[in-house]
Amino acid sequence: MSPFAPPLDEPAAEAALALLAHGEIHVEGRLVDASNATLYCTVTLDGVTATCVHKPVAGERPLWDFPDGTLAFREVATYAVSAATGWDLVPPTVLRDGPYGPGMTQLWLEADETVDLFALVRSDTVDLRRIAVLDAVVNNGDRKGSHLLPVPSGRVYGIDHGVCFATEDKLRTLLWQWRGEPLTEEALDVLRRLDAALSDELGERLRRLLSRREVAATHDRVRSLLRTGLHPLPSGEWPAIPWPPF
């Protein structure tokens, strides 16, 4: 059993990041339903063991609209943005060498299997609305229902962020229930912090993971959300719903 149970406060998240970055990875199996190579692993450091997911860059399926070998970097970049919000929406995630070369390693959180995902995506909860804001910032092109992770504590996390940060508007999601509605004051405060952070340390961190154009587009999206004060509407240029939706 993992020693980390959500919600993860800052010390727990830092401990999880250290374990993921420096621990010894042992592959236990593969998640066969994933479109890219996704390995179910344990990671051990100084006598502490947790479960994790490792996605090697070498196992990524090429996509016509994203440069080859960048999906793992986009997952880590999404975690960095999530961490900067303070909302704890993405499990701790690092980029590191693994058994098959460099890749993304993310803490495994046990799902609450009693939650009906079809009902969840239509609900109006704090975590879901925060995830909708995060998706708008990172331009998530694939927010399927199966990419939502409800956990026994009642929290909901987002996973599988490999197709984020495109420079074109590619937001595809099942979470359109707030489209066109005013952002909450909490969300506006978070977006103001992101605006400042993207001009400082967060921007520097993202530039090590993404292209400069992608980081600039992310900053533009934050400023656009602040300017309108509204949840975005579908662009009309891309399908608004990912396929398959679950």
Task: Give the per-residue pLDDT at 5.
Answer: 85
Question: For residue 68, what pLDDT band results from cuts at 50, 70 and 90?
Answer: confident
Q: What is the mean pLDDT of residues 121-126?
A: 96
Task: Give the per-residue pLDDT at 195.
Answer: 98
Domain count, the chain: 1
Report if residue 246 sits inside a domain.
no
How high does pLDDT run on average in the chain?
95
Q: How far is CA 182 from the centre of its chain?
A: 23
Exposed, middle or buried: residue 164 (CB in 10 Å: 0-12, 13-18, 19+)? buried
% of residues, the chain, pLDDT over 90: 87
Give the count of beta carbons closer than 10 Å to the beta carbon of residue 245: 15
The CA distance from 45 to 59, in Å, is: 25
Of 101, 32, 30, 107, the residue nearest 69 (C-alpha)? 101
Q: At 152, which amino acid appears?
A: P
Report if residue 1 sits inside a domain.
no
Could you tell me the sign of the dihedral formed by the alpha carbons of 117, 188, 135, 156, in that order? negative
Question: For residue 1, what pLDDT band results from cuts at 50, 70 and 90?
Answer: low
Q: How far is CA 148 from the centre of its chain?
A: 10
Q: How far is CA 93 from the centre of its chain?
A: 9
Report if residue 70 sits inside a domain.
yes
Report if residue 234 sits inside a domain.
no
Report if residue 238 sits inside a domain.
no
Digit-coded pLDDT (tens) for 186-234:
999 999 999 999 999 999 999 999 999 999 999 999 999 999 999 999 9
Which residue segment(s) compose the domain that 44 sits in? 10-228
Structure token pair of residue 189:
């405060």
Record the pTM: 0.96
Digit-coded pLDDT (tens) for 127-175:
999 999 999 999 999 999 999 999 999 999 999 999 999 999 999 999 9
Report if residue 2 sits inside a domain.
no
Could you tell me the sign of the dihedral formed by the alpha carbons of 158, 89, 198, 191, in that order? positive
